Amino acid sequence: MVLAPLRVGAEGILVFAAASLKTALDEVATGYQQETGQNVTVSYAASSVLARQIQLGAPADLFISANVDWMNVLQDQGLVESASRVDLLGNGLVLIGGAGQSDLGAMQPDVDLSSALNGGYLAMALVDAVPAGIYGKAALQSLGLWQGVQGQIAQTDNVRAALALVATGAAPLGIVYRSDAQVEDRVRVVAEFSSQLHPPIIYPAAVTTGASENARAFLAHLQSEAAGAVFEKQGFALPNG
Per-residue model confidence as pLDDT tens digits over 106-153: 899 999 999 999 999 999 999 999 999 999 999 999 999 999 999 999
* Alpha carbon distance 32, 118 (integer Å): 46
What is the pTM (predicted TM-score) of this model? 0.88
E strand intervals along the chain: 13-18, 40-45, 62-64, 86-90, 93-98, 122-125, 153-156, 173-177, 187-192, 202-207
**195-219 average pLDDT score:** 95
Across 58-68, average pLDDT: 96
Please answer whether residues 85 and 206 qualify as being in contact, where contact means their C-beta atoms are separated by less than 8 angstroms: yes
What pLDDT is stored for residue 99 in this prediction? 86
Predicted confidence at residue 8, as pLDDT, reads 41
For residue 143, give the nearest of 180, 179, 181, 104 by alpha carbon. Answer: 104
- Rounded Cα–Cα distance for residues 235 and 73 (Å): 27
Strand 187-192 with 93-98, pairing: antiparallel
Least confident of 70-79, 100-109, 143-152, 220-229: 100-109
Work out the average pLDDT over 10-15: 82
Query: How many angstroms separate the CA atoms of 30 and 161, rounded?
Result: 23
